[in-house]
Structure 1
C-alpha cells in the first residue's frame, strides 16, 4: 500500500517525465520544434491536471468517484491537448 506522500510524489512526477520527452526531443532531434511557450502551456496543462487529481484523491472518499472523476479529467486533458496540437474541433486556439 502506498502512503499519501508516495502517491503525491507519483502524481507530480508523471507530468515532469512527460515534459522531459519533448525536451529530449528538442535536444537530440530536429523534428521536434517546441518553443518555450509550448513548454509553458504543456506544464500548465499537465501540472494543473496533476493538482486537480491530487485534490480529488485527497477530498473524495468513494473510490469509484475518485476513478470516474480522475478519468473524466484525463479525457478532458487529452481533448484539450489534441485541440491545441492539431485542431480537431476547429477553435481559434487550434494548432496546425
Structure 2
C-alpha cells in the first residue's frame, strides 16, 4: 500500500483540527471543573500560562506548516513541538526536574 502526499495532506488537516480542538478542551476543562469542585483552583495566571504555552506551540506549528510543504516534515515537526509543550506542562504541574 502506497501512501501518497494527498493522504498525508488529509492526515495533516485532520491532525490540525484535533489539535485546535484539544487546546480548546484543555482550556475549558478547568474553567468548567471550578464551577463544580473546590479541588480545581486555577488562577488567571494559570490560564494565561496555559494559553500562551498551548496557543504559542500551535501557532509555531502552523507557521512552520505554512512554509513547509512536505507533509512528513510537517507532522514530524508538530510531534516535536507537542513533546516539548507536554514536557513544559508536566514540569510546571509537578516539578519533575527540581
Partner of 2:3: none
User: How far does the alpha carbon of each residue in 1:27-56 deviate from its partner, in whole angstroms, 9 at most, with x for none?
Assistant: 111110111110110010011011111112
- Cα distance in 2 for residues equivalent to 1:49 and 1:34: 21
Partner of 2:75: 67
* Consecutive unaligned residues in structure 2, runs of 5 or more: 1-8
Partner of 1:93: none
* Consecutive unaligned residues in structure 1, runs of 5 or more: 91-96
Bigger Rg, structure 1 or 2 = 2
Deviation at 1:26, TM superposition (A): 1.1
Q: Which of 24, 29, 35 is the matching residue for 2:37? A: 29
The reply on whether 1:54 has 2:77 as its aligned counterpart is no
Deviation at 1:16, TM superposition (A): 2.2
The reply on whether 1:79 has 2:90 as its aligned counterpart is no
- Cα distance in 1 for residues equivalent to 2:17 and 2:73: 22
- Cα distance in 2 for residues equivalent to 1:33 and 1:86: 15
Query: What is the total number of aligned residue pairs between the two structures?
Result: 88
TM-score w.r.t. the length of structure 1 is 0.78
Q: Tell me: higher relative CO, structure 1 or 2? Use CA pairs within 8 A at least 6 residues apart.
A: 2
TM-score w.r.t. the length of structure 2 is 0.77
